[in-house]
Homo-oligomer: A and B are copies of this chain.
């Protein structure tokens, strides 16, 4: 017998499964233990433990009509549904629900690419379309368009955007929700709604103007549970003539402040794509006990200590890779302009040329590109790194991420390093925080990634990771830094930090949720929002 959620009887569940089967056909309803287990979260920190978040069954619609039938049956029997796109959101719950016993609505067979327009620069796709699928489609047709993809290419454009996922190329394209335009949604009532211009029958600009007329409702469907998205439009980037990258290296810790100021200017003026910060000292940590001791002592190194150490090893303290996309002459000129600005602002700054490409690339050229996602080429190379974390060099069975949003300034990074350094020391997580640089997927803010490993075999690892995760969430919130995205197991605690005025944002969303989904059947708990009948069960 599968796990069933509070309030759902075995009889009601069986009746719903029978109706799902009648409506969709037996081959589209998944009920065997073995098959349902495929929807477990491969990176669950509660693996095989009583609290593991698991599905009771899955349904695999082929069409919007199937989705409507599923939603209507779920309403009739009060069956909680949990829609997934391709279900590849590892580290953020995979294909498992926020509420154990939910029926997974697996959208992978709805994988049509409905339109790609080269000149107007958009695509309209179903949730089962992966980054590989859309890339192949564009390449086969020779369209001069790029996609922006996250690390693993097997994910869904729709699923990633709805989780506020991010990528690697130019400007606002990296914000996958922000570069969507127009949705089709099956509402909790079972009705089909189209948003933006799509609400106008026969609309000609559904993928070109997002707001349509009146209130703009799309935001409710990202990290939310107001419906099941069945189509979504995305703006695509025109293929540039060329790409080049270069690195700026700065000698002193405090140079980070001027470095970020200058790089912000370049990025906000659309002169560069994603900037990649780092510290050349990271490479020395393993073999330099002096550096390690400095990083691990309470409070970490002083500015002087770090600067002197770096100078003694002829290393810069920080670096930033700048990426340029555009006509060859433009990007050569922009790199010169960047060097002039940076050299004037930061005494001792050094510059190194890196890669350079002209498009389109041959298949062989593509093979040789070290960081393919920066050119919008989906791939799976990320998994060679395992549970990527500077503090966890030995790949584990999986990982969770915490990624607090911090200001886009060097001062904020230095401050966050000190705070994380303290909490890492408290939790025995090492001294890496003092060389940690921000992730820069977001166009207008920084995040500081913290990874926690999970284990399939050692529950103690998981317990420690969850306890550490909770502690870091708490410390970050005390400093005004909040998470942008969460694995289901942490969603309530993350949402609890967004507590301004007695959690009014959450209460406002709950009010809307109860009105739109009175039976609470869609993705209960997603984004920290629970339907009325389940709110009592929250921690």
Query: Which A residues fall within an 8 A CB radius of B?
Result: 119-122, 144, 164, 170-172, 177-178, 181, 187, 191-195, 197-205, 208-226, 235, 237-238, 240-241, 260-261, 264-265, 268-271, 325-327, 329-330, 333-334, 336-337, 405-409, 412, 442, 444-445, 477-486, 494-495, 497-501, 504-506, 508-509, 511-512, 514-516, 527-529
Contacts and interface: CB of A to CB of B under 8 A. Distances in A.
A506 B214 contact: yes
Given A119-B260, A194-B505, A209-B442, 17 more contacts: A121-B264, A164-B211, A170-B270, A193-B500, A197-B405, A199-B498, A200-B497, A204-B406, A204-B412, A214-B506, A215-B222, A215-B223, A215-B512, A218-B219, A237-B268, A241-B337, A333-B333
Given A200-B497, A444-B181, A505 B271 contact: no
A463 to B, nearest CB: 24
Contact of A204 (B213, B260, B330, B480): B480
Given A205-B445, A208-B405, A444-B208, A527 B213 contact: yes
A217 B193 CA distance: 18
A494 B212 CA distance: 10
Nearest to A227: B508
A235 to B, nearest CB: 6
A240 B219 contact: no
Given A199-B499, A327-B333, A219 B217 contact: yes
Copies in the complex: 2
Contacts of A264: 119-121, 238
B195 A121 contact: no
A213 B529 CA distance: 10
A211 B508 contact: no
A481 B204 contact: yes
A506 B199 CA distance: 9
Most interface-central of A177, A203, A205 (chain B CB within 10 A): A205
Contacts of A226: 215
Contacts of A181: 444
A192 B504 contact: yes
Given A187-B504, A480-B203, A508-B187, A270 B268 contact: no
A269 B225 CA distance: 34
Contact of A336 (B204, B211, B329, B486): B329
Contacts of A197: 405, 482
Contacts of A214: 223-224, 495, 498, 505-506, 509, 527-529
A481 to B, nearest CB: 6
B205 A405 contact: yes
Nearest to A515: B515
Given A204-B412, A209-B484, A217 B509 contact: yes
Contacts of A218: 219
Contacts of A528: 213-214
A337 B329 CA distance: 9
Contacts of A412: 204
B224 A501 contact: no
Contact of A268 (B178, B202, B238, B337): B238
A386 B412 CA distance: 49
A449 to B, nearest CB: 15
A343 to B, nearest CB: 15
A312 to B, nearest CB: 31
A336 to B, nearest CB: 7
Contact of A217 (B212, B235, B237, B505): B505
16 contacts: A119-B409, A120-B407, A172-B172, A177-B211, A194-B500, A202-B479, A203-B480, A205-B445, A208-B444, A213-B223, A213-B484, A214-B529, A217-B509, A238-B265, A330-B337, A333-B333
Contacts of A199: 482, 498-500, 504-505
Contacts of A442: 208-209
A527 B215 contact: yes
A306 to B, nearest CB: 23
A365 to B, nearest CB: 21
